[in-house]
Amino acid sequence: MNARVREGDPWCLPAGWPPPVAAARRVSERLVAQLQGEIEAAGGWIGFDRYMESVLYAPGLGYYSAGARKFGAAGDFVTAPEISPLFVDCLAETAAWVLRRQGGGILEIGAGSGVLAAGLRRRLGELGLGCDYAILETSASLRQVQAETLAGTEAGLAGVTWLDRPPAAFRGLVLANEVLDALPVVCFRVERGQVREYGVGRQGAGFGWRPAPGAGRCPDWLEAGDLPEGYASEYRPMLGPWLATVTGGLEAGGALLLDYGYGRGEYYHPQRDGGTLMCHYRHRAHPDPFLLPGLQDLTAHVDFTAVAEAASAAGLAVAGYTTQLHYLMDSGIDRHLQRRAGAVGGADYLRLAQAAKTLMLPGEMGERFKAIWLARDDGTLPPGFRGKNFLHLL
Ligand SMILES: C[S@@+](CC[C@H](N)C(=O)[O-])C[C@H]1O[C@@H](n2cnc3c(N)ncnc32)[C@H](O)[C@@H]1O
């Protein structure tokens, strides 16, 4: 929750920003009308988690549910598998280890454009480890994009299924890259020594921050006394139920989750006042969640201590936690770079090496992004987690 947001007109963009095309603006207007009606019906206030869920996932209207291009240079943001196949090569190391030990297949959650699925299937095929690949994806339009991406690969759609809910029983690998950050958050501010929930009310043609009527929500672990007066941040109440649901049927294997975030001590550091809620529109990052409803991405960093707590509650062993830099190094990114270098020319090699830097440099993605390994077995560490393990930071 950030005091600098300009509340009230959701389509008034800062100078120089590209406006949405007319059709996109009309979708946004329908979403705003729908949400304003919901707020009226609820007595003038909804939680920020409900707002975030709607602007990202409202069927046919939300950011991930409507058809606009999101990923890559022409979209709003770029994810690691879109940056380089080297990232996918490294994930394939963990996947191959799981498949050799446990058999089974892969369940990918939130597959985006399908680039990770395509690359992983290709690499596992090269290793003689072709397997079933299930995708759990909330967005109907992204399912379509994923199917097109995968249909264009050598293996095609053989063995690929899209699920409406997690399988009741399976073994192998659960994989989610940059999905946790897209799960809705609840916002709060410390006021007079108490945690005060802030949600959303109508303001002008759009929306503005409003304190919760009544006591609002506050998780057990969140102590206002540890934080300065006026401190604002967020947390993710649905993380526990979500993780329990997606891993509930996992009988053997583990879950590999990657995202940007911190352990709780670092996340709720007094100096991180304002929280981590961030919006992305055409590669512009800014803090106003009420701008362009449905046309921009909303995200917040991941509290990996909350992930670890949720995993323990779901009966998983929290076995490994490391930075993306160390995950990639331990998965042999330099070896993959050399292997690929043999197959490409000079300019392509430079591009690969540059992308590896983006993935690994501490000032880029190397330290802000983390990988966590949640095991449903004896807790032996897979490739990626045998180098540096930072479990003590959770
Ligand atoms: C930021 S994108 C990441 C895409 C991809 N994993 C990548 O690395 O490029 C988030 C993805 O998660 C999906 N998603 C968000 N919440 C989800 C949920 N609860 N269940 C399944 N998919 C979800 C979105 O629709 C989108 O495909």
CA 179 to ligand 1 centroid distance, Å: 5
> Quick one: pLDDT band at residue 7, thresholds 50, 70, 90?
low
Could you tell me what percent of the chain has a pLDDT over 90? 85
C-alpha closest to that of 142 among 371, 21, 297, 307: 297
Does residue 297 line the site of ligand 1, with CB under 6 A? no
Which of ligand 1's atoms lies nearest the C-alpha of 57?
A: 25
- Confidence band (pLDDT; 50, 70, 90) for 377? confident
Q: At what angle do helices 333-341 and 85-102 cross, to 10 degrees?
A: 120
Question: If pLDDT is split at 50, 70 and 90, which confidence band does 6 have?
Answer: low
pLDDT at 4 exceeding the cut of 70: no
pLDDT for the residue numbered 226? 83
* Residue 181 Cα to ligand 1 middle (Å): 9
CB 314 within 8 A of CB 247: yes
- Report residue 1's pLDDT band, with 50, 70 and 90 as the boundaries: low
Give how many domains the chain has, as a whole number. 1
Q: What is the structure's pLDDT at 9? A: 86
> Residue 68 corresponds to which amino acid?
A
Q: Which amino acid makes up residue 31? A: L
Average pLDDT over residues 39-61: 96
Q: What is the DSSP letter of 19?
A: P
Tell me how far the alpha carbon of residue 25 lies from the centroid of ligand 1, in angstroms. 23
Identity of residue 158: A
Give me the sign of the Cα torsion angle 69, 75, 76, 80. positive
**Average pLDDT in the chain:** 94
Angle at 62 between CA 33 and CA 287, to 5 degrees: 90
pLDDT at 346 over 60: yes
Confirm or reject: Cβ of 111 under 6 Å from ligand 1: yes
CA nearest to 290, candidates 71, 20, 28: 28
The Cα 98–Cα 88 span in angstroms is 15
What residues make up the domain containing 90?
Answer: 1-394
Give the angle 64-182-325 at the CA atoms, nearest 5°: 120
Indicate the pLDDT class of residue 285, thresholds 50, 70 and 90.
Answer: very high
Which residue's alpha carbon is at the smallest distance from atom 18 of ligand 1? 138
Confidence of residue 370 (pLDDT cuts 50, 70, 90): very high
Residue 156: pLDDT over 80: yes
Closest protein CA for atom 11 of ligand 1 = 110
- What DSSP letter does each residue of 1-18 carry, written as one string? --TT---S-TT-PPTTPP
Cα separation, 298 vs 280, whole angstroms: 7
For residue 269, give every residue at least 6 positions away whose Cβ sits within 8 Å of its Cβ, in sequence order, or none: none
**Which of 12-26, 71-85, 157-171, 204-218 bottoms out in mean pLDDT, i.e. has the lowest?**
71-85
Spacing, Cα 30 to ligand 1 middle (Å): 23
CB of 109 closer than 6 angstroms to any ligand 1 atom: yes
Does residue 316 sit in helix, strand or coil? Answer: coil
What is the percent of the chain with per-residue pLDDT over 70, rounded to a whole number?
A: 96
Residue 218 has pLDDT above 60, yes or no: yes
Evaluate: CB of 333 within 6 angstroms of ligand 1.
no
**Ligand 1 centre distance from Cα of residue 342 (Å):** 33
Give me the amino acid identity at 297: D
Regarding the beta carbon of 179 and ligand 1, being less than 6 Å apart is answered yes
108 lines ligand 1 (CB under 6 A): no
**CA atoms of 258 and 343, how far apart (whole Å):** 28
Is the shortest distance between the CB of 178 and ligand 1 below 6 Å? yes
Q: What is the DSSP string of 248-294?
A: TTEEEEEEEEEEEEE-HHHHT-TT-TT-S-EEEETTEEES-TTSSTT
Average pLDDT over residues 142-163: 96
Interval between CA 249 and ligand 1 midpoint (Å): 20
Does residue 76 line the site of ligand 1, with CB under 6 A?
no
**Model pLDDT for residues 300-334, shown as the tens digit of each residue:** 999 999 999 999 999 999 999 999 999 999 999 99
Output 341 or 221, whichever has higher pLDDT: 221
Taking each helix axis as running N to C, give the angle between helix 115-126 and helix 85-102, from 0 to 180 degrees, rounded to the nearest 10: 60
DSSP letter for 208, please.
Answer: E
What φ, ψ does residue 24 adopt, rounded to 5°? -65, -40
Helix (H, G, I), strand (E, B) or coil at 77: strand
Residue 2: the pLDDT is 57
**Calculated CA dihedral for residues 206, 288, 358, 346, nearest 10 degrees:** 50
Q: Is the separation of the CB atoms in 337 and 356 below 8 Å?
A: yes
- Out of 179, 260, 279, mutate this one to test ligand 1's pocket (max ligand atoms within 8 Å of CB): namely 179
Which tens digits make up the pLDDT trace of 90-118? 999 999 999 999 999 999 999 999 999 99
Which numbered atom of ligand 1 lies nearest the CA of 181? Answer: 1
CATH number, domain of 117, equals 3.40.50.12710
Q: To test ligand 1's pocket by mutation, which of 138, 142, 296 has the most ligand atoms within 8 angstroms of CB?
A: 138
3-state secondary structure 148-177: HHHHCCCCCCCCEEEECCCCCCEEEEEEEE
Biggest alpha carbon distance in the chain?
64
Structure token pair of residue 221: 């672990």
Confidence of residue 379 (pLDDT cuts 50, 70, 90): confident
CB 278 near ligand 1, within 6 Å:
no
